[in-house]
Structure 1
Amino acid sequence: MSRRASRPLAADRITNPAPEAYSYVELDAAAQRGNAVLAEECALAIAYNGISHAVMMVSPSALEDFVVGFSLSGALVESVDEIYDIQLSRRGEAFSAEVQIGNRAFWALKQQRRSLAGTSGCGLCGVEAIEQALPQLTTLTPSPLPPAAHLHELRARINDAQRLARQSGALHAALYVDEHGEIVLCREDIGRHNALDKLIGALRREGRDSRRGFAVVTSRCSLELIHKAVRAGLSTLVSLSAPTDLCVRWARQHHLNLIHLPHHSAPRAYSPCNNAE
């Protein structure tokens, strides 16, 4: 973070009330009643230097991480140093993020100005041109695959790390495993893209070298997640669901290590691969 944003942000001081438990009735002969904590969802409006840019449906946790990650992975800023300040405010069920960015980033943002409205299930909404859906990305420097031991029983360890999902379910997670094989960061959200943005933001805000370990996503691996990983400079992305063919081609082209972690089989490295072109 830049000198002006290295101090605690106003966003850090916003707290959320404990999740509410909702009553239900089981639809069987016993008709048992119970209570369950459900996943939270809220609208977050993001403005850069006073100009509204996007409204996203997110989970109301680690919002400052999300704003930083969203800005970086969407190529709205080139580095965290271009984010000078984040001011979060809340009105009822909605949040607003006022983000101050540097002149270069703001000029570039105005040049590519477009209407963008996001939802939890949408990764490329608002994209109006093929060039934006299939952007030019800087190719990464190749990195070795993580040791196989760091993937051992990873699914079980992820379940233990997902604190919010244990309460309510319905949440995706993005996690960071460090060079020692330990899960050191976990960010959760109703949106799989949001979860990865939160993780990217947390990595930058904590000053971690993301290429020393690897990121994990619990959701389907789609092309927009590859875009975010490459833009964030991650060396390796591990997905609990199988990637699409386009994901594999882009990962190989941009030297992003891409690993699928099946339920009952050994981890599968699709990129790099011995027969990769």
Structure 2
Amino acid sequence: MHYATLHYAQTATPGNPGAAVLAEECALAIAYNGLNQAVMMVTPQDLEEFVVGFSLSGGLIEQIDDLRDLRLHGSGNARHAEVQVSPRAFWAIKQQRRQLAGHSGCGLCGVEALQQALPQLAPLQPVALPPDSHFHGLRERIAEAQVLARDSGALHAAAFVDGSGAIALCREDIGRHNALDKLIGALALQRRQARDGFAVVTSRCSLELIHKAVRAGIGTLVSLSAPTSLTVEWARRHNLNLIHLPHRSAPRVYSPAPALPDHNG
């Protein structure tokens, strides 16, 4: 190997601003009423919105009013979120933890984990598909809205397009689930109706994103990458409009299912 041909990247510093800018990452520990729930690796922006969205999209709370207080502590690569929730929500959180603990001897742990991966979700009330005009230049508009990714790349985004077709919110994170959670938290904290627009994710459309969208009451989810057959199945089952926006062709609607041709006419 000719080592002289290798180029070593340097991280940007005040004395070396021309070096590569890297995306930030930190560990965020989340506790509910003093009970440790999770440690997430996140981009340290919009953390309050992330915790709210994580709580709603994960079914830990049913509505924003179940959240009584939220305090963030720490700095650098170690952060803490202390969340106070209603007694009803805290009881439900403890029930979830109890179901997933202590069953490894009889194999029930796998059953419970499968239920967590394929949860029972209430179907959405169907909403109309967005107008075609709302997709014009959408990829380019989202790229302009990604302020953090403009410097570092390596960040996913989740955006909310309002009823007028404008990008009203854009949240970014190293994790695609985190980006959507931040957006869900922002919608909840701003008391915006998710059904009045649609969400766009720049990442692969995994099944977990379908779960989060349905729990958050998002009627339409647009992905910049093609969905899998399972995500399409779940979107149709739960009345979630699922649309893929390819690079150079028209939007493709996967859910609702396309109407069958009428051969009787």
Which amino acid is the alignment partner of residue 78 of structure 2? Answer: A
The higher radius of gyration belongs to 2
Tell me if structure 2 keeps the 8 A contact 1:127–1:133.
Answer: no
Q: Does 1:21 align with 2:9?
A: no
Aligned-pair distance for 1:130?
Answer: 1.1
Which residue number in structure 2 is paired with residue 140 of structure 1? 124
Tell me, in whole angstroms, the C-alpha distance in 2 between the residues paired with 1:235 and 1:178: 12
Which residue number in structure 2 is paired with residue 259 of structure 1? 243
Q: Which structure features the higher share of helix residues?
A: 2
1:214-250: CA deviation from partner (whole Å, max 9, x where unpaired): 0000000010000000000001000000000000010
The TM-score, its normalising length taken from structure 1, stands at 0.83
Which residue number in structure 2 is paired with residue 274 of structure 1? 258
Tell me, in whole angstroms, the C-alpha distance in 1 between the residues paired with 2:62 and 2:160: 21
Greater alpha carbon shift after TM alignment, 105-114 vs 209-218: 105-114
Tell me, in whole angstroms, the C-alpha distance in 2 between the residues paired with 1:272 and 1:187: 27
Tell me, in whole angstroms, the C-alpha distance in 2 between the residues paired with 1:84 and 1:63: 17
Which amino acid is the alignment partner of residue 47 of structure 1? Answer: A
Which residue number in structure 1 is paired with residue 143 of structure 2? 159
Q: Does 1:183 align with 2:167?
A: yes
Alignment of 1:175-254 (within 5 A): 175-254=159-238
The runs of at least 4 consecutive aligned structure 1 residues that moved more than 4 Å come to: none
Tell me, in whole angstroms, the C-alpha distance in 1 between the residues paired with 2:208 and 2:70: 25
Alignment of 1:83-162 (within 5 A): 83-113=67-97, 129-162=113-146
Aligned-pair distance for 1:113?
Answer: 0.6
Size of the aligned set, in residue pairs, is: 239
Q: Indicate which of 39, 42, 58 corresponds to 2:42.
A: 58
Tell me, in whole angstroms, the C-alpha distance in 1 between the residues paired with 2:111 and 2:184: 22
Tell me, in whole angstroms, the C-alpha distance in 2 between the residues paired with 1:131 and 1:155: 35
Question: Unpaired segments of 5 or more residues in structure 2?
Answer: 1-10, 102-109, 261-265
Tell me, in whole angstroms, the C-alpha distance in 2 between the residues paired with 1:51 and 1:274: 46
Report the secondary structure of 1:77's partner residue: coil
Tell me if structure 2 keeps the 8 A contact 1:22–1:36.
Answer: no
Residues 34 and 92 of structure 1, relative CA distance in 2, 3 Å threshold: closer
The TM-score, its normalising length taken from structure 2, stands at 0.86
Could you say what the CA RMSD is over the residues aligned between the two structures, in angstroms? 2.0
Aligned-pair distance for 1:111?
Answer: 0.7
Which amino acid is the alignment partner of residue 12 of structure 2? Answer: A
Aligned-pair distance for 1:128?
Answer: 5.3
